[in-house]
A and B are shown apart, each in its own frame.
Chain A
Amino acid sequence: MYPVFMAQWLKDKRKPLFIILLIGLSILATVIFGGSRQNQSSSVTVFATGPNAEEMEQKWTALLNDSSDMEFVITDEEKAREQVREGKSDVAIRLMESDYRLITASDMPNIQFIEQQVHQVFTKEAQLEAAAGTENTMELRNEIEAYLDHPPVKVESQTLSGGELQEYNMGMQLLFGFTLFIVMFTIGFKVNGIAADKVSGVWNRLILSPVSKTGMYAGHLLYSFCAGFVQMLIVFLIFKYVMDYNIGSLPMILVIAAVYTLSTVSLAMLFAGIANTPEKFNMIYPSVISIIPVISGIYMPPGTISNPVLQFIADLFPLTYAVDAMMNVAIFDAGWSDITLSMALMLLIAVLYMGIGINMVERRKG
């Protein structure tokens, strides 16, 4: 096994550009798409129409900005509508005296989240006005706020492990998503080395040598695993220590990454079994895995993909489980028991696909 492993390493040592390129790509994609997505979701355009539009805009923007982490920015109606139309922003809000309208082109989960925030502010204001009656609303507001500073009952939301409940971070999902997606290419092309060895005749030489079949496969697959895992390790370390991302417990993230790498090696082995030549593998594998993040909803907020067929297809690949587990660790401070199911499913994929893949490769040999 060791010489097979070392031979693969020697080949890559001569041509490290491919792996460096993929590492760079992981970081670049996360920074570009993750960064823009974060900016996009934190700012919402608002506008009002009518004779006292300016007054309404000032009043509601102040209340909305006070009650949410999101930034509500006043824009003129034409511009706000155009941005939604062109897809530059997901939603714009038309403010009215005591009501609002959402202007949107889709029904994304983040729009529901914004709606929830806005609804809360308008409801609270309506309640205050109703309670104040003919009296001054501002006085009542101050009175209530003073009372709430020392409430008789205080409800606090916490994660299962007792940590602070965090807001869903799409940038973080993209970080994990891109890193795990791009590593699928690295692993795939390494596993394809088995098919290349078969075509070149090196595999036959190995069969005639005292090295066992298990050793031959283990050398190749272990190397593919290490190449993929080291790539992810480098990306995560850069994000955590250089770019200051809070990715949660690094050891847990790395354990998830290791299990994911294992299942991806098996997935690539399955593809190597389906495509019997390196050329066919190079055609089929990248074509199929490129659509997996889309089907798995990696580029979108959770819950966006609701089609059961797409969900079923996504469930056949380890990407969904890995991103889900990593997000739970990074955002919700999940413990081992919270990610057990995802890990178990990835291990199941690893065992099944590896078995089927090797079997197919061996049968095809004739």
Chain B
Amino acid sequence: MLETIKLSKTFKEKKVVDEINLFLDEGESVGLLGPNGAGKSTTISMISSLLKPTSGDVKLDGKSTIKDPSKIRKVLGVVPQEIALYEELSAYENLKFFGKIYKVKKDTLEDRIQEVLDMVGLQERQKELVKTFSGGMKRRVNIAAALLHDPEILILDEPTVGIDPQSRNHILETVRNLNVERGTTILYTSHYMEEVEQLCNRVYIMDHGKIIASGSKSELLSILSSEDTIQVQLSGQSDSLLDRIKSFTSVLQVDETNEGMRIISKKGSNILSELVHAAEKEDIQIVNFQVETPSLEDVFLHLTGKTLRD
């Protein structure tokens, strides 16, 4: 349905997006995951025709959208990262304005406004000014405005940044319903791993403007199939203990955490006895030891050597 071919963007000799290839099939929910500054928003701006790529192409149903963006604009709904609303107007007035802008037919506009308000759970407060809303409520109206013309593809650019858990859950639920019940194709960008894990069938992981991994959740987790992630809670921290553990032949990576350390070791290697021995020598007690099921966060860590929020 929608694909990018070697899509690149350079700002003042800095390559922000570097030959990205991605595709979205009809009805799919795809996540675009990456830390801040990875190039997610620039990619989205190019896909949605707001920004002209330096090179590469964006194709909708096999046809390039670069020269004639009108077709993609018709089927696309974009929820920007910023609150793109008139704060001096009420939620209803904002939606009416955007409905008119998107040329939603007069006789259906009213019903459509109520429908999208219901979707985001703000029907009761539609007459209130947006500036009086909480951050979460504003983001919900932000989503509603992108849904008015019933888009086939919905692109959401970090729609849950800086909001309360209740609004976050509501937004995630709305996106899930749009995808599952209405068959809307979703491209969801976030640096919250758990959101992407919950919502998306497939994930693209981006870092420094490049796609560094892609696939379904299980495909991505299989990257770590030869590794175990172990969380160790310790009674104290010690640099020499860290060095000792790093020297174990089966240990691939060790990172300090708030309560102890996180160890990535070869699958099936039993490092517990070695670990206890090393801790005893440093006079540190092991409070808790847990072999974790790997997550996408671990995949990201494995691929980039840093966490998503670094």
Contacts and interface: CB of A to CB of B under 8 A. Distances in A.
A6 B101 CA distance: 11
Interface in B1-58: 11, 48-51
A14 B78 contact: no
A310 B89 CA distance: 44
A200 B48 contact: no
A210 B148 CA distance: 13
B146 to A, nearest CB: 8
B98 interface: yes
Interface residues of B, number: 28
Q: Which residue, of B51, B78, B80, B84, has the highest number of chain A Cβ atoms within 10 A?
A: B84
Contacts of B74: 210
A216 to B, nearest CB: 9
Contacts of A210: 73-74, 101-103
B103 A205 contact: no
A207 B129 CA distance: 24
Nearest to A4: B101
Interface string A200-243: 11101111111100000000000000000000000000000000
Contacts of A200: 82-85
A255 interface: no
B48 A208 contact: yes
B97 interface: yes
Contact of A208 (B78, B89, B93): B78
Contacts of A11: 86, 88-89
A15 interface: yes
Contacts of B146: 205
A3 B97 contact: yes
B145 interface: yes
B267 interface: no
Contact of A205 (B88, B98, B100): B98
B265 to A, nearest CB: 46
A204 B82 CA distance: 11
A7 interface: yes
Contacts of B206: none
Contacts of B98: 205, 209
B277 to A, nearest CB: 58
B80 A205 contact: yes
A205 B101 contact: yes
Nearest to B103: A210
Contact of A3 (B48, B76, B100): B100
Interface string A1-39: 011101100110011000000000000000000000000
A279 to B, nearest CB: 15
Contacts of A205: 78, 80, 84, 98, 101, 145-146
Contacts of B48: 208
Contacts of A211: 101
A346 to B, nearest CB: 32
Report, as a range, how many residues of chain A touch the other chain: 20 to 34
Contacts of B101: 3-4, 205-206, 209-211
Nearest to B69: A208
A182 B46 CA distance: 42
A205 B81 CA distance: 12
Contacts of A6: 97
Interface in A153-188: none
A204 B97 contact: no
Contacts of B51: 366
A14 B83 contact: no
Contacts of A204: 50, 78, 80, 84
Nearest to A210: B103
Contacts of B85: 200, 202
Nearest to B94: A7
A201 B84 contact: yes
Contacts of A7: 86, 89, 93, 97
Contacts of B11: 366
A39 B86 CA distance: 49
Contacts of B76: 208
Interface string B95-120: 00110111100000000000000000
A7 B93 CA distance: 8
Nearest to A196: B86
A201 B88 contact: no
Nearest to B49: A208
Contact of B102 (A10, A14, A209): A209
Interface of B: 11, 48-51, 73-74, 76, 78, 80-86, 88-89, 93, 97-98, 100-103, 129, 145-146
Q: Which 8 A-B pairs have the closest CB atoms?
A: A201-B84, A3-B100, A201-B82, A209-B101, A201-B80, A11-B88, A7-B97, A202-B84
Given A7-B89, A205-B80, A205-B146, 10 more contacts: A3-B97, A3-B100, A4-B101, A11-B88, A14-B88, A200-B85, A201-B83, A205-B84, A205-B101, A209-B73
21 contacts: A2-B100, A3-B97, A3-B101, A10-B93, A11-B89, A14-B129, A15-B88, A200-B82, A200-B83, A201-B82, A205-B101, A205-B145, A205-B146, A208-B73, A208-B76, A208-B78, A209-B102, A210-B74, A210-B103, A366-B11, A366-B51
Interface of A: 2-4, 6-7, 10-11, 14-15, 200-202, 204-211, 366
